[in-house]
């Protein structure tokens, strides 16, 4: 600046001299390096974990292949398989989606679109956020005292079935679904609502035909996050009656009323076993769980993108 002002004649050479970087942005570069390092740190930790699991799991799949996925639980690590865990986790995912999605979305719609903005509704919203931070084992206790007892009183065996487990996980992730749905609804511009009311639409018509379609991608993203969280939970399931150790059965007629287990429960159980061979089985079960979670995410992302394309 000052160099240009003090010179009496302006030449291209002088201007170029002034325009070329005269001052190094040292702090900026340092900051960028720190950012990159943090990214690498988290990535490296993740990669180490993944490499560890994959290297341990590889021999299991190499030796037994599909047999590991289709065999039932066993106390013999060379025969033990995870078919009950896969079926259990899949059913749990369905139950969670079927319960948490509609209840969560409807709660969010009520709070965001219908309820007046009073102290009570704000109090409820804050507490829903708090509920999302409650340790999952607490929900396990709730599942034991409410859902297991309920299904027992309904005459469904001892009540320790996959429906009780699914309902417990659904309640666990319900706050996440509600919060993300509220955010998605809130992100729909007020102008769209006004436009709808302006042509004489009722609140229901505005919500159903304008706000919900616009919020659907966000709502689905929230549901995916919630589902992934639910499928990885262990503690609530153990409390809500998932079987630790092997059991027989899983026949179709007792699918919803008989004993059940899920992949994270199997991983937990096998990691505690004294036999070294179960360690490898646990790693293999983790890989299966990861694949199932990725698959669930892929489905939800597919639906999300499809809805985004419609407008």
Partner 1 sequence: MTQLATQDATEPARIPAPATASDEADGGAAPAVGASAAPVALRIERVHDTRATIDAAAHDERDAEAAAEPVIRIEDVHFYYSKFRAVKDVSIQFAPQKITALIGPSGCGKSTLLRTINRMNDLIPGTRVEGKVLYHGVDLYDAGVDAVEVRRRIGMVFQKPNPFPKSIYDNIAFGPRIIGAKGNMDEIVESSLRRAALWDDVKDKLKQSGLALSGGQQQRLCIARAIATSPDVILMDEPCSALDPRSTLQIEELMFELKQNYTIIIVTHNMQQAARASDYTVFLNMADDRAGFVVEEGPTLGIFTNPTNQLTEDYVSGRFG
Cβ-based nearer residue to partner 1, 20 or 191: 191
Among 59, 65, 135, 189, binds partner 1 (CB under 8 A): 189
Q: Is 25 in the site for partner 1 (CB under 8 A)?
A: no
Select the span of 11-19, 169-177, 194-202, 224-232 touching partner 1 (CB under 8 A): 194-202
Q: Is 19 in the site for partner 1 (CB under 8 A)?
A: no
Q: Is 183 in the site for partner 1 (CB under 8 A)?
A: no
Q: Is 67 in the site for partner 1 (CB under 8 A)?
A: no
Select the span of 1-9, 101-109, 203-211, 266-274 touching partner 1 (CB under 8 A): 203-211
Binding residues for partner 1, total number by CB under 8 A: 21
Q: Is 69 in the site for partner 1 (CB under 8 A)?
A: no
Q: Is 212 in the site for partner 1 (CB under 8 A)?
A: no
Distance of CA 234 to the CA centre of its chain: 14
Select the span of 51-59, 206-214, 246-254, 266-274 touching partner 1 (CB under 8 A): 206-214
Q: Is 54 in the site for partner 1 (CB under 8 A)?
A: no
Among 175, 196, 218, 241, binds partner 1 (CB under 8 A): 196
Q: Is 209 in the site for partner 1 (CB under 8 A)?
A: yes
Contact residues for partner 1, defined by CB under 8 A: 116-117, 189, 191-202, 205, 209-210, 213-214, 311
């Amino acid at each position: 600046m000052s160099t240009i002002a003090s010179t009496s004649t302006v030449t291209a050479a002088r201007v170029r001299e002034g325009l070329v970087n005269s001052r190094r942005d040292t702090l900026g570069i340092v900051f960028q390096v720190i950012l990159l390092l943090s990214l690498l740190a988290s990535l490296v930790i993740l990669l180490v974990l993944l490499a560890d699991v994959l290297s341990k799991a590889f021999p299991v799949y190499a030796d037994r292949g599909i047999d590991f996925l289709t065999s039932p639980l066993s106390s013999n690590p060379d025969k033990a398989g995870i078919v009950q865990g896969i079926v259990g986790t899949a059913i749990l995912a369905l139950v969670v989606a079927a319960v948490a999605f509609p209840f969560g979305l409807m709660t969010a719609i009520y709070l965001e679109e219908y309820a007046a903005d009073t102290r009570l509704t704000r109090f409820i919203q804050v507490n829903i956020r708090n509920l999302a931070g409650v340790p999952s084992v607490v929900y396990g206790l709730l599942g034991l005292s409410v859902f297991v007892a309920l299904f027992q009183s309904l005459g469904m065996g001892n009540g320790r079935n996959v429906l009780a487990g699914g309902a417990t996980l659904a309640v666990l992730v319900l706050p996440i679904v509600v919060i993300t749905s509220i955010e998605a609804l809130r992100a729909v511009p007020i102008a769209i609502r006004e436009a709808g009311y302006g042509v004489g639409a009722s609140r229901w018509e505005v919500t159903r035909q304008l706000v919900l379609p616009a919020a659907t991608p966000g709502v689905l993203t929230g549901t995916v996050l919630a589902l992934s969280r639910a499928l990885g939970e262990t503690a609530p399931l153990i409390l809500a009656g998932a079987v630790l150790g092997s059991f027989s059965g899983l026949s179709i007629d007792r699918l919803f009323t008989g004993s059940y287990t899920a992949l994270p429960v199997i991983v937990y159980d096998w990691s505690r076993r004294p036999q070294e061979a179960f360690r490898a089985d646990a790693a293999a079960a983790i890989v299966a769980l990861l694949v199932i979670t990725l698959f669930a995410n892929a489905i939800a992302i597919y639906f999300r993108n499809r809805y985004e394309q419609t407008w």
